[in-house]
Amino acid sequence: MKGISNIYDVYDTIENKYLLQGVSAKETEKITGLPRNQVSRYAIDGILYKDRYRIVNKDDQKLMEEWNRVRIIINPKAKR
């Protein structure tokens, strides 16, 4: 949708730290070289770019955190 921009974090799995936080696909492309039209696909599928960088969509991350919170409320015996 025009005008809506996803915000991403880029996690370096080798250095165990965030390379980028709260950036657009364009900024992700500049720093990592991953084409901006592929950034969301890597985030959705959980694919490591160059076997090193994990792309995380901030909106998806918030949704998963909320889901984990609610599922524990619904079923306290659920695994964390």
Number of domains observed in the structure of the chain: 1
Q: What is the pLDDT of residues 7-43, one digit of tens each?
A: 999 999 999 999 999 999 999 999 999 999 999 999 9
Neighbours of 23 (CB within 10 A): 19
Asked if residue 79 is part of any domain, the answer here is no
Q: Is the pTM of the predicted complex or chain greater than 0.85? A: no
| Run of H or E including 19 | strand 17-23
> Please, are residues 43 and 23 in contact by the beta-carbon 8 Å criterion?
no
**What pLDDT sits at residue 58?**
78
Average pLDDT of span 47-58: 92
Q: Which residue has the higher pLDDT, 59 or 22?
A: 22
Residue 32's domain comprises 8-74
- pLDDT greater than 90 at residue 48: yes
